[in-house]
Structure 1
């Protein structure tokens, strides 16, 4: 079930990114998503899961370990998805 949900969400995000070039309002939504802050050190706990997020300071997607609290929207399961949605959109506008 988790695999199905992951694939469903991944395909949904991918389809959004494909259409973002033609829809300025969708671009703004994606920009807002990518600019959300990454988890702080206080939010990182013993549950160790690998994630990727866009770091607005460095303008790059980066890896981090996160497992506590509510999952934010600026958290991606792969570096490819993070780059596709955030780096490409924000660094090449």
Structure 2
């Protein structure tokens, strides 16, 4: 399984990458912003992505918006959203397309 991680907190990003690699999962990229995340998804076509909701450049919902767009690059791309910031509308938006 090929995974891309998008998380702006370096400790969490690298810790998650290490945990996944230890479990035998191929982390093909770990990035700290939504723009790089979309570039990697477009270029490398991962099997699944892990995305933080709030990321640069605005630290609002950039990660979530990028996750929604990433699901269109390969349609139906599995997305795991991680965030310490809870907002129900984000989950509804991500799941809204079925």
- TM (norm. structure 2) is 0.24
More strand by share: 2
Could you say which structure has the higher helix fraction?
Answer: 1
Structure index of larger Rg: 1
User: With structure 1 as the length reference, what TM-score do the two structures score?
Assistant: 0.25
